[in-house]
Homo-oligomer: A and B are copies of this chain.
Amino acid sequence: MAGNSFGTLFSLTTFGESHGRALGGVLDGCPAGIELDIEAIQHEMNRRKPGQSAIVTQRKEPDIIEIYSGVFEGKTTGTPIGFAIHNTNQKSKDYSHIKDSYRPSHADYVYDKKYGFRDYRGGGRSSARETASRVVAGAIAKQFLKDIKINAFVSQVGTLKLEIPYQKLDFNQIESNAVRCPDEATAEKMEAYIKSIKKEGDTIGGVITCVAKNVPIGLGEPVFDKLHAELGKAMLSINAVKGFEYGSGFAGIEMKGSQHNDQFNSDGTTKTNLSGGVQGGISNGMDIYFNVAFKPVATVLQSYETIDKEGNKVTTQGKGRHDPCVVPRAVPIVEAMTALVLADFTLLSRTNKI
């Protein structure tokens, strides 16, 4: 309840600070009998890893997963899957610019107020490094879900938007460029733009769109735990996320009901899908799709004024190896969280009827 667990039945608890000894987690409730592809898990980790291209942070984190339990003779046993990712790089660097002052739009200040002090090294628990554990669990969830296909991709960087509807995109192109935008022309523009931002020592925001196909009818619980409400929470729990919309989203506001309603085909599918695959909080068998808004990373490699613990003004120089734009590396995180939500509701849906 201190907020480090996610999911009711397919439930992940994570631990670990950015520069502590190790990060990791426990995935409880994963059903027995999944033939686990460890390489597929490591593959997802590598998609999230720093240093994978010129437009992401150049930090070195090998991010090798160690699985401690819950897998025997290649299969999940139904018991909790404990895992860790050791930090190889956590030696005491120079943190004086973080230790004694508060970086603007970071969590330094609120951690100090909430807990009385903080592990300031690399942001401690507030670092997005925590999401490495989510990617491990999400990769296992994907293997459990099997038929459900989850694809996330970058659909906006700054003002550069991918204008093609997702139905016309080739998801096999997502990994073909460093931005993870499945349209080559747009990807090139985005990449060039991120490089220019990086040169300025600045950062920029972006949008990730996620599509889940082959989701069976009936996932999601009415009222508070609606499928899209859990997806929203999952996405908003990712570092730097400021907004979430599904189906018609914010654009749906301006539509009339007579335009917005999705008419049925005789097989129960719908002619349009402004609902985004969810009706009343429950999946209806159509594609689930949603957008996730990421703010620009707060760490800029520029000089800035801020305050220290006593409220004195100090001038500091942003440094370190940070992402100029977080969305390319956040794609596997969005997919992982989506997989966790769908895995949880898949198990829960087995209990709806006698």
Contact = CB atoms under 8 A, between A and B. Distances in A.
A252 B26 contact: no
Contact of A4 (B202, B223, B265, B312): B223
A33 B354 contact: yes
A115 B71 CA distance: 12
A261 B306 CA distance: 11
A274 to B, nearest CB: 8
A9 B313 CA distance: 38
Interface in A34-87: 34, 66-70, 72-73, 75, 77-82, 84
B250 A243 contact: yes
Nearest to A247: B242
Interface stretch (A10-18, A165-173, A183-191): A10-18
B75 A117 contact: yes
| Identical chains bound together, number | 4
A151 interface: no
Interface residues of A, number: 152
B354 A144 contact: yes
Interface in A286-302: 293-300, 302
Interface in A212-268: 217-218, 220-226, 228-230, 232-237, 239, 242-250, 252-268
A79 to B, nearest CB: 4
B279 A3 contact: no
A11 B261 CA distance: 34
Given A111-B282, A223-B4, A22 B69 contact: yes
Contacts of A79: 4, 15, 17, 119, 124-125, 222
Nearest to A346: B351
A101 B102 CA distance: 55
